[in-house]
Structure 1
């Protein structure tokens, strides 16, 4: 396993008051952080990261914490930390990216974030997890309130090549194409043919899965691109370009023309036809995107204000936005957040979303939302290599090789949370 060959500087826009994002006020014990961090309505540089070469930026649609991986495989984390999801051995909020000390001896190639937990993948296919474990989402073989330091998961199979986190569950993919899940089974998202629900003295409880469970998947070897960014939904793409979805069916986010939960992987037939196979899939909080040879498809609801649709439908306005001179631009990276999306394509960044009051679209303070895909003009002079969308924020890795690249970066505001 290896990191991408290219790297750059990390930028951020959106809400950076990690204790209050999505809340009316900070929880008890975090009141001291209420005035630290602010809404960044355009891309900002992190003062502490200037000069650091970043290969991956990681966050999730229900995450208020972030990770980055340098070109040397060193991992940093920052943001909300109420359950130890930053891996620093404590539950203190960090506003400045900090190296995870206990993982510095490993070469980290990927990571994933849930609502309150995190997983990191090493070069040799080992997985470390930390944060909340009340539903067994860390895969440690037990249940615990939180684990503040990186701990190797209870797995002894083939090397792992990909990982993903839901809100309160996790997924790993091994080198032979087997998919394993663990954590909360509430809507069938573990793919084990049950929602794990039972009642004790009138109280609804769930039979959480504490160890990695292998899904008896009847599909071809899974591509190294299992996509999971939604708290209660899993989307998988196999080597035959077929798409499978399972978990929570609300808003039609599974794409099966109904809102029924699916407890085992179910094939999306629209992509199982000649010339219709999917190339990439992306899951947001309550919506899903897929790209095939015909263009972009959307299903689900509350996805950047689009109408709720219970089956994959073409996105005509996005097709228009990403076409230049009668040809499709080169799409490098896509991020799906809570209510917004971002696309890095050629020399542009395309964003859309509504209910986005924290600046996560990077369109400026006077335009906090956009129902239709639009260009992030504040990034027009930047070459954005990769994007990642969180709950109320967006991360971007920007090329910083040439003098032109560095000059464009020098025009941006430098963000130093300590000085807020």
Structure 2
């Protein structure tokens, strides 16, 4: 107990940092992915001096057992599992603390992504760099090789990449501009339809980017991937999903539009469920048959959906308003309008941050020790497969 208190109860002023409100992590930590400097699972949030002392963090991308931090000035740090070179340091070593990616020190990065064992970085001039496991073509370099240093994806040399997102063994890219039908690209494993493209007979993966069709005239502004699933949001808030069917249902090989009168601003994919956030702050779930599954007594069923084969139902979380959502393999996290962090789902590694390892069927408030009292501090949340990060920002 004394050791636990020493880990968490640092003086409040030490939590302010240049990052605004500090950074915390919890959950699976056996490969250093929590940035605590230890190889332990942590069932309660741990304050992270290594991240809280740097420039404001604009994004954290979490993968299978590694993570990437992007600062406001465009620099990147990586840590956690490095066996496939996904940390971008030129080796295959794990890192217990955040380490600057030296090869990108002179490049301003604006977007990052982490897959199971691969990483991506988008520069301010729209160049995409990838590293890590390439055995399914998920790096986009036209081969199936592993890269331990970030390597530019030459396919996009004449295009401006805006966003990148990774699933377990596949990648999605969104361009800054272009015709509606040529904005989204995919590459990597195609086994479950997660690329959203027509797969030629005998092909199970693509090592070069492929155009994803099926959005009509909708202008896609957000892309999301996790596990073997993919999703996209249009500027009008229309949601498209494709890939492995939730709950063992059939794969969806091309993007399908969710029939709904609601407009969504955020989507977060797990391996067997999805979270949706509307522009008015309402949170809904598309669920499968495992830890994301809820009964009608726990959540109000607001709306039935169209005939999308792998959608089981949509439920609201107690009518709460939220500002951000995130999903791991089989756990979910949100930030409520009043600033509370709430989690539920699979809890085996402490990734819910509730002090134990039990699964939770309903959202529970995560207690952040010595959280800043400044009312202007807002929290953002990010999930890896079995771990969670939160960053406080002014």
Q: Does 1:9 align with 2:22?
A: yes
Match of 2:331 among 316, 333, 340: 340
Shift of 1:372: 0.3
Question: Which residue does 1:313 correspond to in 2?
Answer: 313
Cα distance, 1:390–1:183 mapped onto 2, change above 3 Å: same
Q: Distance in 2 between matches of 1:315 and 1:379?
A: 31
CA RMSD of aligned residues (A): 2.6
Q: CA contact under 8 A between 1:188 and 1:247: conserved in structure 2?
A: yes
Q: Distance in 2 between matches of 1:20 and 1:153?
A: 26
Per mean C-alpha deviation after superposition, the further-off stretch among 117-126 and 233-242 is 233-242
Shift of 1:157: 3.6
Alignment of 1:383-402 (within 5 A): 383-399=377-393
Alignment of 1:323-402 (within 5 A): 328=321, 331-345=322-336, 346-354=338-346, 356-365=347-356, 368-378=358-368, 381-382=371-372, 383-399=377-393
Shift of 1:7: 5.4
Shift of 1:342: 1.0
Question: Which residue does 1:412 correspond to in 2?
Answer: none
TM-score, length basis structure 1: 0.77
Q: CA contact under 8 A between 1:9 and 1:52: conserved in structure 2?
A: no
Unpaired stretches in structure 2, ≥5 consecutive residues = 1-18, 296-308
Shift of 1:213: 1.0
Shift of 1:11: 1.4
1:30-55 CA distance string (max 9 Å, x none) = xxxxx951121221122333421232
Match of 2:264 among 278, 291, 295: 278
TM-score, length basis structure 2: 0.81
Question: Which residue does 2:300 correspond to in 1?
Answer: none
Question: Which residue does 1:185 correspond to in 2?
Answer: 190
Q: CA contact under 8 A between 2:277 and 2:324: conserved in structure 1?
A: no
1:62-109 CA distance string (max 9 Å, x none) = 521001012211100000111000000000010111000001101111
Question: Which residue does 1:226 correspond to in 2?
Answer: 223
What's the secondary structure of 1:52's corresponding residue? coil
Q: Distance in 1 between matches of 2:78 and 2:358?
A: 27
Q: CA contact under 8 A between 1:384 and 1:396: conserved in structure 2?
A: no
Cα distance, 1:222–1:9 mapped onto 2, change above 3 Å: farther
Q: Distance in 2 between matches of 1:7 and 1:56?
A: 11
Cα distance, 1:384–1:207 mapped onto 2, change above 3 Å: same
Question: Which residue does 2:151 correspond to in 1?
Answer: 151
Question: Which residue does 1:134 correspond to in 2?
Answer: 135
What's the secondary structure of 1:86's corresponding residue? coil
Q: Distance in 1 between matches of 2:33 and 2:50?
A: 23
1:312-340 CA distance string (max 9 Å, x none) = 63424x134x2xxxxx4xx3321100121
Unpaired stretches in structure 1, ≥5 consecutive residues = 1-5, 22-34, 199-205, 253-258, 323-327, 402-420
Q: Distance in 1 between matches of 2:383 and 2:154?
A: 29
Q: Does 1:268 align with 2:254?
A: no
Q: Distance in 2 between matches of 1:135 and 1:91?
A: 18
How many equivalent pairs are there?
A: 350
Alignment of 1:156-305 (within 5 A): 156-176=157-177, 177=180, 178-194=183-199, 198=202, 206-228=203-225, 230-251=226-247, 259-269=249-259, 271=260, 273=261, 276-292=262-278, 295-301=282-288, 304-305=291-292
Cα distance, 1:214–1:45 mapped onto 2, change above 3 Å: same
Q: Distance in 1 between matches of 2:29 and 2:359?
A: 17
